[in-house]
Amino acid sequence: MKKALEFLRESGTFYLATTEGDQPRVRPYGAVFEYEGKLYIVTNNTKPSFKQMIENPKVEISGMNEKGQWIRVTGEVENDDRREVKELALEAVPSLKSIYSIDDGIFAVLYFTKGTATISSFTAAPETFSLY
C-alpha cells in the first residue's frame, strides 16, 4: 500500500474511473492519504463520482510520474464517515482545507477495502502487488 501511496503522491494528479450504468466515467483527483494501513481518497458526497462508488464500489486509479512510469490501482472502496479520518485527511492534504471542513456535510473519504496495484513503463516488466 505504501508503494502505491508514494507513487500517487509523486504523480500529483491521478485519474479515478467509476461506472455509471454501463458507461465508464473518469475524472482527475489529487488527494490521497493513508490511515490505519489503508489507502484513502477524498471527494464531495454530492458529486456523481461519490454516488457511483456507493452504487458500485469497483474502481480504478491511474497516474503517471515524471520518470514515465504509470500505476493502475484496481479494487473496491468503501465510505468512512469517522471524524478522526477526516481530521487526518485535512492534515495530510492541507489544500483540502480551502474546499472542505469536517462538519460541512459534503466532505467524504473512501478507502480501498481490497485491491492490487501495477506499476508499468515502456522499459521494464510490470510490477504487480497487493495493496494489503
Which tens digits make up the pLDDT trace of 87-99? 999 999 999 999 9
Predicted TM-score (pTM) of the model is 0.95
Q: Any residues with CB less than 8 A from the CB of 6 and at least 6 apart, and which?
A: none
Give SS3 for 126.
coil
Beta-carbon-side half-sphere exposure of residue 43 (alpha carbons within 13 Å): 23
Provide the grid cell at 90: 485535512
pLDDT tens sequence across 28-64 = 999 999 999 999 999 999 999 999 999 999 999 999 9
